Every structure is written in structure tokens, then in C-alpha cells.
Amino acid sequence: MPKGVTKITAFIIRRLLQTVVVLIVMAFGVFVSVYAIGDPVDMLIDPAATEAQRLEAMRNLGLDRPLWEQFARFIAGAAQGDLGQSFVYKIPAIELILLRLPATIELTVAALILAVGIGIPAGILAGLYPSAWFSRTIMSVSILGFSLPSFWIALMLIMIFAVALGWLPSTGRGDVVTVFGVDWSFLTIDGLRHLVLPALSLSLIPMALMIRMARAGMREVWLTEYVKFARAKGLSPIRVIGLHAFPNTLIPIITVLGLELGSLLAGSIVTEVVFAWPGIGRLVIQSIGVLDRPVIVAYMLITVSLFILINLVVDLLYAVIDPRVGYGDARK
């Protein structure tokens, strides 16, 4: 046992060190690209300002220093948890993002729950009865989920459920409850109603993916001898499917789920804009518009960290699911 634990610890440490390198390289990339796009000062000050005012503003923001020095200062600050102040809001960028992050997490998690809760059972069903009419329906729906652009689906949902039927609200988070200083919509009825449409629209692509993966996995696993053997033991269909077949399809499913969770957290931008959902996606779009570099960098660092963290958890889950997975050094 202790040997296995050491191995996992070494694995996690190795992964975290890689993460630090990735984060530094990425921060540098953002610095260079924002520098290449233009001068934030032009966006921030009054166009009629004098040259002296302009220089003053640049000095205040530290933009008068050469790029390498700005970057070095940023890294020094980041090492102490300070990612700089937003040029626009004049508050720490990290605070700005953490303020908006819960809304995005809430939306993403709700969308993934829908995707998994509907997509996986539907996929299993389609895998078990590949030629039944309902399986064909499920597969057609999943093709639509893949191919229709998400902004269009979002607009259609708004048109049908908010405008025509008037059942659900289409903008904002509705009533929120504050827990541990963070606002949550899903704890109030009104908030939940506000959550339905954006979550549904965001869930369609991952749902289509889950349907396809669960179906393909079930079809493959159903032909294996261990599933036949399980059936030959006279087990109930629920046990054969739930314990012998489905768990053996999980490794690819949670891999994709991890990637989807990461990319939804970082990329629910369109959905957040369409539904006026005050998450980090909308924040970063606004910040890019005014070249608010500290916010952009902080956003990138946080989403990349989340991405890496999620994938680390996924890697650790492999071993929970499959006893054959170990965490030795791959080079050995």
C-alpha cells in the first residue's frame, strides 16, 4: 500500500511541476499578444487627453517599462498570488474573476449534469438495441446536437420557451442565495428557472458526445466474453449492464467528460453572452475589447489551471475505475 501511495504522490508532484512551466509559458504568450494588438492606454484614457496625461496614465499602470520588465514584475507578483489590478475596474484581477467564476461553474456543472444524466442512459439504450426505432431517434438527435451551432440553438430556445411560450426567463441569473460569500442561483426556484435555458443550450454538444460514446462503448463491450459469461451466470440484466458492461466503457467517457468540463468552463462564452449570464466568459470578452491585460492573463491562468486540475483528477479516477492502471514512470 505505502508503495502505491508514494507512486501516486510522485505522479501528482510531477504533474504540478509541468503545470507551473505551462502557466509561465502561457502568461508570456498573453503578454506578447496583447502587446502586439495595441496599447491599452489608448482604450482607457480620454482621446482628448494631453501627451502628459497619457504618460502619467502609462506610468500608473506600469506600461512605461519595457515588456520584459513588465513580465518579470508580473511573475514576481504572481508568485505571491498577486495577478495585478484590472486597468478598468481598478480592483485585483483575481478578485474580479473569482467574483464571476461561480456563475460559470454553476452553468457548466448544470450543463454537464444534463449531458450525463440524459446522454449516457440514452446512449446505453441505443447501444443495447441498435436497430430499434427509439435508438434511431436518439442517434438523429445526437447528430443535430453536434451540427447545429450553439448560438442558434440558444436563440431558438429563447424564442420558443421565453418568447412564444413564456415559460422560462432568458436573461440573467434571477434570485441568488449567498453561501460563504458567493452567490448561487441554483438554490432558489427563480434562479433554477433562469438556469434551465442556458444550461440546456450549453449541454447539447456534450450530451451528443455522451450519447455517441456510451453507445459505441456498450456495443463494443456487449460482444466481449466477460459480458457473455456474466449473462451465462444468470445475472439480472440490470446487474449485467450496470456492473459488467457499463463500467468497462467508463475510461473513454470520463476522459472526454474531463475535457468537456474544462472547455465548457473556459468556453461557455457564447452561451453567457446570449443569455446575459454574468460569468467569466462575458467578463473576458469585455476585457479583450478594452485590452484589460491583467484580467485576460488572470482568466487564462485560472482556466488553464482548472483544465489541468480536472485532467489530473481524471487521471486519478482511472485507477479508481480500473485496477490495472498504475502510476509508474512511463519512461521505465
- The site that binds another protein (CB under 8 A) totals a number of residues, namely 23
The number of beta carbons lying within 10 Å of the beta carbon of residue 205 is 21
16-24, 56-64, 65-73, 224-232 -> range binding another protein (CB under 8 A): 224-232
- Residues 54, 56, 62, 63, Cα dihedral to 10°: 20
Alpha helix (H) residue ranges in the chain: 2-37, 40-44, 51-61, 67-79, 93-128, 133-147, 150-157, 189-222, 225-232, 237-239, 250-267, 269-274, 280-289, 293-321
The number of beta carbons lying within 10 Å of the beta carbon of residue 60 is 13
The single residue among 18, 50, 60, 224 that binds another protein, judged by CB under 8 A, is 224
- Cell numbers representing residue 94 in the block: 483575481
Helix (H) or strand (E) holding 184: strand 182-184
Classify residue 164 as exposed, middle or buried by CB count within 10 Å of its CB (0-12, 13-18, 19+). Answer: exposed
Query: Cβ closer to another protein: 244 or 293?
Result: 244
Binding mask 239-258 for another protein (x = CB under 8 A): x---xx--xx----------
Confirm or reject binding of residue 231 to another protein (CB under 8 A).
Answer: yes
Confirm or reject binding of residue 228 to another protein (CB under 8 A).
Answer: yes
46-54, 219-227, 269-277, 286-294 -> range binding another protein (CB under 8 A): 219-227
Confirm or reject binding of residue 225 to another protein (CB under 8 A).
Answer: yes
Asked if residue 275 lies in contact with residue 197, where contact means CB atoms within 8 angstroms, the answer is yes
What's the closest the beta carbon of residue 316 comes to another protein, in angstroms? 16
For residue 178, the cross-strand partners are: 183
The single residue among 4, 229, 276, 313 that binds another protein, judged by CB under 8 A, is 229
Confirm or reject binding of residue 136 to another protein (CB under 8 A).
Answer: no
Confirm or reject binding of residue 220 to another protein (CB under 8 A).
Answer: no
Binding mask 53-92 for another protein (x = CB under 8 A): ----------------------------------------
* Residues lying near another protein in the complex (CB under 8 A): 131, 222, 224-226, 228-236, 239, 243-244, 247-248, 321-324
